[in-house]
Amino acid sequence: MALDVAFTADPTTSSSQSPSLGEALNTVDIVVLVVYFLLVLAVGFWSMCRTKRSTVDGYFLAGKNMTWWPVGASLFASNIGSGHFIGLAGSGAAAGIGAIAYEWSGLVMVLVLAWVFLPIYIASGVTTMPEYLQKRFGGRRTQLFITVLSLFIYIFTKISVDIYAGALFIQLALKWNIYVAVVLLLSITALYTVAGGLAAVIYTDAAQTAIMLVGAVILTVFSFVEVGGWNALLEGYPTSIPSVRLPNSTCGIPRDDAFNLFRHPVTSDLPWPGVIIGMTIPSMWYWCSDQVIVQRSLASKTLTHAKGGSLLAAYMKFLPFFVIMLPGMISRILYTDEVACADPDVCQQVCGNSVGCSDIAYAKLVMQLLPGGLRGLMMAVMIAALMSSLTSIFNSSSTIFTMDLWKSFRSRASEWELMIVGRLFVLVLVVLSVLWIPVVQASQGGQLFIYIQSISTYLQPPVAIIFLCGCFWKRANEKGAFWGLIIGLTIGCIRMVLDFVYPAPLCFEVDDRPGVLKYVHYLYFSMLLSFITLVVVVVISLATEEPRPEQITRLTWFTRFDPLEPKEQVFTVEREITTASSQTGTTNGREAEKSNADSASSVSSVRSQSRFLSAVYWLCGMERRAGGDNDIPMAPPPPEQVIASLEEKPHLQRIVNVNLLVCLAVTAFIVGYWA
């Protein structure tokens, strides 16, 4: 889940005015960065060479042949973007450990995905989440609505946050122009995303996960050594008050509940009922029905491997608390006057933004504590976080655009056409990402991230409720789902607009916002929005016709083991295959002479094909047949052409189930300890 924190450094600052966080990167650091880029490209091209990329399943689902460890690493890397390193550390510096609840909520939800939701998705044989809604409810309007909404969320929230955070860190450390940095990174990510598909994304995510964890652990060790250990952190944080503060205000004073996970239900920044319930619904959307996450699990070769991947991701979700948030809190102790600046004029001098500078906490540690070489490694960590998130978003956005929008209007599109469209849409996303930079710059830095969280909180609950009802209530129908979605999103958008019009006041300002903003926390609003959507879905579904049998079979938790097809449909398909075979045999006899006559010209055509074009086809994994057969439109394969089995080997099933219990027990202990 994204974090409710604010970016406060301003990337619009020119290189000559960039705040100084320490020594600049030296030659050794630059060498480390170059080695990192070469490693990523090598892994990307290696994965391209071992994966069949010329089919829909091969490109969008990695051939459904991924084992548990790259799936788990990719789940973790897709979630932990550069926004986490900047935002989570900044949140720890500003308000303590409260925001880690987003991470631990996601820890539980990724396990819910594997054990509860994923068996339904696998049984249904879908490639995308909008496709599941189309099968479950029928019609096209809900599917298209969710497709457009998902693309909106990806392009205008996730991409913008990751690019902003990565560009901020790069500019602070390298003093590069923001456009040069972003264009360079996007070019590299687009290269292996376009060429390799999901397989290249997953394997490069796995490599970048290792780089992120090694670098983050090294910085954590340096941070704790510098501050004096665990007790020094517990004692030093409450007293880390900047020397310059506004009088008669709470600005710059650490929260009394900084080390509490569950906070006051009315007056705190993260009320505990909202954390338990209001945070769970958006987290369920992100981990259980978002294309970026579910697509990685669907690429697993078996359900057991998918569960193993979720377990690996869940275990790694414990780490951000120790390697990102706690270092951010240490940064406040070590550099109180800069990281925790409370006077707007001082903050303007420190980081170029009067709102505050807590989000330079992680970058400050990197540039001040680490020696040459390790600074370059941490730059690689930040870039790895940015690239892994962007490649995941690019690939998933391309998948839902191609399979849900393009195929809706081009129902007889060939696989060749779908591959071309999928790759071109990645390039479109790259261009949109670059064009989005001026919007990010105009957002005054510190306010954008909070607004992004508002968008997520107000748009995700209705979608989560729709998936929840579709998966676990057989009586839910298309009318109930569609109108629940429309009404829920309308209410959410009204609250979102109010948040834009009336932003939250700073610590020294009077709160004169309308009561619905002032007294109804956004997590409480998430709970209310979920309840309203659920009521609408239930009432309208009960008042209208029941779903047809084909909208239930293998599409809910209770029907996931239903037979694949009714017998009469199987016989119909067999008769069609037999008829087609006999027709093909007759035609082949008449076409033999023509085929022989054309063979010579076909061979010469292939030989005359330019080497450049051949290289392009190889790079994209496109298998071009002689004679231009790819230009002939082919009917798309049946929707349930390949459906993975839900069967699991008993001994492996016991292993993952025992690990599930262990992981949940550790989660309960650590949440209870910090509650």
Q: What is the pLDDT of residue 36?
A: 80
What residues contact residue 58 under an 8 Å CB cut-off, 6+ apart? 51, 52, 197, 199, 621
Q: What is the pLDDT of residue 74?
A: 86
Q: What is the pLDDT of residue 622?
A: 52
Q: Which two tokens stand for residue 657?
A: 């189930």
Q: Which residues of the chain have pLDDT under 70?
A: 1-25, 48-63, 82, 160, 164-165, 167-169, 171-174, 176, 178, 192-198, 247-249, 352-353, 437-455, 565-644
Distances (CA, A) of 272 to 84, 109, 561: 22, 18, 39
Alpha-carbon torsion, ordered 103, 104, 109, 114, to 10 deg: 100
Alpha-carbon torsion, ordered 649, 650, 652, 657, to 10 deg: 130
Cα 88 to Cα 387: distance, rounded to the nearest angstrom: 18
Name the CATH superfamily, with its identifier, for domain 16-242+252-550+650-674: Sodium/glucose cotransporter (1.20.1730.10)
DSSP 312-370: HHHHHTTHHIIIIIHHHHHHHHHTHHHHT--SHHHHHHHHS-TT--GGGHHHHHHHHHP
Give the model confidence (pLDDT) of 240-274 as tens digits.
Answer: 888 877 766 677 788 888 898 888 888 888 888 88
Cα 10 to Cα 440: distance, rounded to the nearest angstrom: 10
For the question of whether the overall pTM of this predicted structure is more than 0.75, the answer is yes
Distances (CA, A) of 479 to 29, 37, 130, 539, 545: 58, 50, 16, 10, 9
Q: What is the pLDDT of residue 60?
A: 59
Cα 365 to Cα 501: distance, rounded to the nearest angstrom: 36
Element (H, E) at 555: none
Rounded to 10°, the helix 303-316/68-79 angle is 40
Pick from 391, 296, 327: nearest CA to 41: 391
Q: What is the pLDDT of residue 611?
A: 59
Q: What is the pLDDT of residue 654?
A: 94
Contact 60, 298 (CB under 8 A): no
Give the model confidence (pLDDT) of 195-234 as tens digits.
Answer: 666 677 777 778 878 888 888 899 999 999 999 999 999 9
